[in-house]
Amino acid sequence: MLNLVSARFSALFGAGVRIGLSGSAFAVVRQAPWGGKSTILANHALNVDHAPGAPLTETASRLVAQIDVDFRAAFAETPCAGLPVRVVLSDDLARLFMVTPPQNSARLHDIKAATSMRFQMLYGDLGADPHNDWCIEADWQASRPFLACAVPRSLVEALCRAAGEHGMHVQAIEPNFVAAWNAARGRIAMGAWFGAVHEEQLTLAAIAPNASHLGAVRSLAIPADGHELQWIEEQVARTALQLDVPVPQQLCLSGNRNQLWVDRRKTSTAGAAKEGLAINNLDQGSAVAGTVPVSAAVLLAGKAVRT
Partner 1 sequence: MKRLVIDFAPRTMRRAIFQTRPLALLIGCAGLAAGLWAGLSALDLSKQIDADQVQLSRLKGKARDSAAARPVTAAPKVSEGQANAVNNAVAQLNVPWRDVLDAVEGATPASIGLLALEPDAKRNVVRGMAEAKTSGDMIAYIEALKKQGFFDIVILTKHEVNDLDPNKPLRFQFEAQWRGEGP
Footprint on this chain of partner 1 (rule: CB under 8 A): 11-13, 84, 87, 135, 137-140, 147-149, 151, 156, 160, 169-175, 178, 181-182, 185-186, 188, 194, 207, 212-214, 306-307
Q: Which is nearer to partner 1, 84 or 248 (CB)?
A: 84
| CB of 292 vs partner 1, minimal distance in Å | 29
Paired sense of beta strands 169-175 and 95-99, if any: unpaired
Side chain identity at 226, as an amino acid letter?
A: G
Q: Which is nearer to partner 1, 124 or 191 (CB)?
A: 191
| CB of 162 vs partner 1, minimal distance in Å | 13
DSSP 185: G
| CB of 184 vs partner 1, minimal distance in Å | 8
Q: What's the rounded Cα separation, in Å, for the pair 183 and 201?
A: 19
| CB of 67 vs partner 1, minimal distance in Å | 15
Of the candidates 225, 227, 220, the one whose C-alpha atom is nearest the C-alpha of residue 205 is: 220
Side chain identity at 65, as an amino acid letter?
A: A
Type and span of the H or E element at 82: none
Q: Which is nearer to partner 1, 229 or 279 (CB)?
A: 279
Q: Which is nearer to partner 1, 7 or 229 (CB)?
A: 7
Beta bridge partners of 86: 18, 172
Sign, CA torsion 167/170/176/179: negative
Q: Which is nearer to partner 1, 226 or 283 (CB)?
A: 283
DSSP 286: S
Q: What's the rounded Cα separation, in Å, for the pair 105 and 243?
A: 25
Of the candidates 195, 255, 179, the one whose C-alpha atom is nearest the C-alpha of residue 231 is: 195
Q: What's the rounded Cα separation, in Å, for the pair 237 and 261?
A: 16
| CB of 194 vs partner 1, minimal distance in Å | 8
| CB of 138 vs partner 1, minimal distance in Å | 6
| CB of 101 vs partner 1, minimal distance in Å | 15
Q: Which is nearer to partner 1, 194 or 261 (CB)?
A: 194
Beta bridge partners of 136: 150
Q: Which is nearer to partner 1, 213 or 227 (CB)?
A: 213
CB count within 10 Å of CB 93 equals: 20
